[in-house]
Amino acid sequence: MASVPSLAATVRRRVAEALSAALPEAASADPLLRRSDRADFQANGMLALAKKLKGNPRELAAKVVESLPGESGDGDAVIAGIEVSGPGFLNITVADEAITRTLAARAADERLGVPYAEAPGTTVIDYSQPNVAKEMHVGHLRSTVIGDAIVRILEHRGEKVIRRHHIGDWGTQFGMLIQYLIEHPHELDHTAEGGDGESGEAAMSRLNRLYKASRALFDSDEGFKQRARDRVVLLQSGDETTLEMWRKIVGESMIYFHAVYDQLDVEIRDEDVVGESAYNDDLQQVVKDLESSGVAVRSEGALCVFFDDVKGPDGKPVPLIVQKSNGGFGYAATDLAAIRDRVGKLGADTLLYVVDARQALHFKMVFETARRAGWLPEGAARQLAFGTVLGKDGKPFKTREGETVRLVDLLNEAVERATAVVREKAEQGGAELTGEEIAERGAQVGIGAVKYADLSTSMSRDYVFDLDRMVSLNGDTSVYLQYAYARIQSILRKAGDARPVAHPELPLAPAERALGLHLDEFAETLEGVAETYEPHKLAAYLYQLASHYTTFYDQCPVLKAGDGATVENRLFLCDLTARTLHQGMALLGIRTPERL
Ligand code: ARG
């Protein structure tokens, strides 16, 4: 379906045309149009332009007004009023009719008039990368939630998106786990703890047990330590018995990860889980190529890459270590192999890494190394670095005992709190929800609250994990947005025979205009969000939308508006608001229940 030009785009174009008619030297100058409180839009471009051409800005602005071709009077007039103000601004009011017509065109399109990107490319996005045999924590929550939203936003624009979950499934710690499992073959048996042997919790507790037991032995028994080290060599050389045990451990972790993903309402497909192990066979070649091209050099036995601007506190350069002096490969070598694969084989033109900001130096060095090696075009890779989740004390989020908070515990608590809110609201409002419905909505509200709290702050910032605030009905929360959506659905259900129909001939009340103009900004907001990878701007847009809707709802009766055309037009605004909220929330990965 066709994309719909926004009112802002139309006004911008018309003012730009008038500007170049008034002043041929100004052809292609930007009128610098923005939304304004005084009128609908303000154009500030005349100021700088007049200054540059040594003219008078107010005179130039007046000429632009004169040059606007017959706006008033003709049928599709968009600009209803334009006047020069201040030192040479233009204050522009658009016609009510134009607002309703534009919104009607959006409503007629299933994409709400949002265009596809003109030249979509291929993006590989590395996100949600938990570590095998370990618990998921809030850092993995951030990567998963932000990554999922960005995938949805980019795909919505028509971008080809390849997901890569670079899980930590390789490395020396597996020698210890596998060796223990070989010596204690029943350690991961599913039947050991009775009924729910297949659940994520059970899988994780088996892994925890394995981890603790093997660690204890590793630390106390020199013989075991040696056998564990030998096991790493067998793993890397592809020994079948060793690999079989390794697969068992990875499989157990996948049960656990999927249970968390299910609860988080995020779809992670097995074919996209391409962990560190997948690059094992390429590491030797990566090292060879880096060494022969001179990008990496031997230093104290290790293969290193040096950077002029990366130095330690002692002033000595800090290298990226591609191969350790004992011949082992680490995290960096794997990331370099992954870049080669993603650019060379998968054909990516953009690489994104949704990873904790504390790994910024690692990625800076890895990207620069890959660029020097000719594997990565300049500027093609970017870390979407996120900040730390803090506790209420402002310190990194920990349990009272100082341990990492388990993601599952957090999610369970969020769902519990949200369920209480949903139940209480339902009782107050006299809504008849069954126990099952309350549980389902509690989950959608609770998980939505956690996701929204994360996505509504700029990702580079730290934020405080505060469940009380997250599930609050007031303020910038997903619950507030979900209630706005559900309230509209309830009005639409009560409308009986009255249907949402746009009536461009009707004058609009101030709250209707404000809501309408904001609805019209959806497409441009999404475009900006996709270009800068900033989901928080979509969240902010949706919050403002719900706020505009609340004002509209307070000031403009819908079903009791009296006149039939007004009822239809207001239902139309309600319906478009609901569809926009639904679409926007879906792009953030958050559900909008029909009833709450
Ligand atoms: N598994 C790592 C962690 O939990 C994150 C991996 C990030 N991705 C990457 N390509 N290095 O910290």
Give the ipTM. 0.99
Are the CB atoms for 75 and 483 separated by under 8 Å? no
Are the CB atoms for 388 and 143 separated by under 8 Å? no
DSSP state of 84: E
For residue 347, how far is its CA from the centre of ligand 1 (angstroms)?
A: 22
Closest-lying ligand 1 atom to the alpha carbon of residue 168: 1
For residue 167, how far is its CA from the centre of ligand 1 (angstroms)?
A: 7
Question: What pLDDT shows up at residue 565?
Answer: 96
Mutate to test the pocket of ligand 1, among 134, 355, 376, 389 (most ligand atoms within 8 A of CB): 355
pLDDT in tens, the chain (596 residues): 578 999 999 999 999 999 988 888 887 889 999 999 889 999 999 888 888 888 898 999 999 999 887 655 444 689 999 999 999 999 999 999 999 999 999 999 999 999 999 999 999 999 999 999 999 999 899 999 999 999 999 999 999 999 999 999 999 899 999 999 999 988 888 765 555 667 999 999 999 999 999 999 999 999 999 999 999 999 988 999 999 999 999 999 999 999 999 999 999 999 999 999 999 999 999 999 999 999 999 999 999 999 999 998 998 999 999 999 988 898 999 999 999 999 999 999 999 999 999 999 999 999 999 999 999 999 999 999 999 999 988 988 888 888 888 899 999 999 999 999 999 988 887 777 889 999 999 999 999 999 999 999 999 999 999 999 998 988 899 999 999 999 999 999 999 899 999 999 999 999 999 999 999 999 999 999 999 999 999 999 999 999 999 999 999 999 998 899 999 999 999 999 999 999 999 999 999 999 88
For residue 255, how far is its CA from the centre of ligand 1 (angstroms)?
A: 19
Beta bridge partners of 404: 398
Mutate to test the pocket of ligand 1, among 144, 166, 383 (most ligand atoms within 8 A of CB): 166
Neighbours of 68 (CB within 10 A): 19
Mutate to test the pocket of ligand 1, among 124, 129, 165 (most ligand atoms within 8 A of CB): 129
Closest-lying ligand 1 atom to the alpha carbon of residue 129: 1
For residue 549, how far is its CA from the centre of ligand 1 (angstroms)?
A: 41
Listed in sequence order, the residues at least 6 apart from 412 whose beta carbon sits closer than 8 Å to its beta carbon are: none
Sheet (strand 320-323) strand order: 297-299, 302-305, 320-323
Question: What pLDDT shows up at residue 74?
Answer: 47
- Report which secondary-structure segment, H or E, holds 550: helix 535-555
For residue 171, how far is its CA from the centre of ligand 1 (angstroms)?
A: 13
Closest-lying ligand 1 atom to the alpha carbon of residue 335: 10
Which residues have any ligand 1 atom within 6 Å of their CB? 126, 129, 131, 166, 168, 335, 353, 355
For residue 245, how far is its CA from the centre of ligand 1 (angstroms)?
A: 23
What is 418-588's CATH number? 1.10.730.10
The CATH number of 7-94, from 3.30.1360.70, 1.10.3720.10, 3.30.70.1110, 3.40.718.10, is 3.30.1360.70
- For ligand 1, atom 6, the nearest C-alpha belongs to 129
For residue 202, how far is its CA from the centre of ligand 1 (angstroms)?
A: 25
Write out the DSSP string of 158-200: T-EEEEE---B--STHHHHHHHHHHHSTTTT-TTTT-TTTTSH
For residue 151, how far is its CA from the centre of ligand 1 (angstroms)?
A: 18
* CA 222 to chain CA mean position, Å: 47
Helix, coil or strand: residue 480? helix
Question: What pLDDT shows up at residue 191?
Answer: 65
- For ligand 1, atom 9, the nearest C-alpha belongs to 166
For residue 335, how far is its CA from the centre of ligand 1 (angstroms)?
A: 9
Summary count for the chain: helices (H), strands (E):
20, 13
- For ligand 1, atom 11, the nearest C-alpha belongs to 335
**Rounded to 5 degrees, what are φ and ψ at 124?**
-100, 125
Q: d(Cα 383, Cα 279) in Å, to the nearest integer? A: 20
Q: d(Cα 248, Cα 510) in Å, to the nearest integer? A: 64
Q: d(Cα 1, Cα 583) in Å, to the nearest integer? A: 16
For residue 481, how far is its CA from the centre of ligand 1 (angstroms)?
A: 33
Domain-by-domain residue ranges, the chain? Answer: 7-94, 171-270, 418-588
Closest-lying ligand 1 atom to the alpha carbon of residue 362: 11
- For ligand 1, atom 2, the nearest C-alpha belongs to 129
Closest-lying ligand 1 atom to the alpha carbon of residue 338: 10
Neighbours of 85 (CB within 10 A): 14
For residue 218, how far is its CA from the centre of ligand 1 (angstroms)?
A: 25
Mutate to test the pocket of ligand 1, among 354, 359, 364 (most ligand atoms within 8 A of CB): 359
- CB hemisphere CA count around 42 (13 angstroms): 13
Question: What pLDDT shows up at residue 425?
Answer: 87
Closest-lying ligand 1 atom to the alpha carbon of residue 164: 10
Question: What pLDDT shows up at residue 195?
Answer: 56
For residue 525, how far is its CA from the centre of ligand 1 (angstroms)?
A: 30
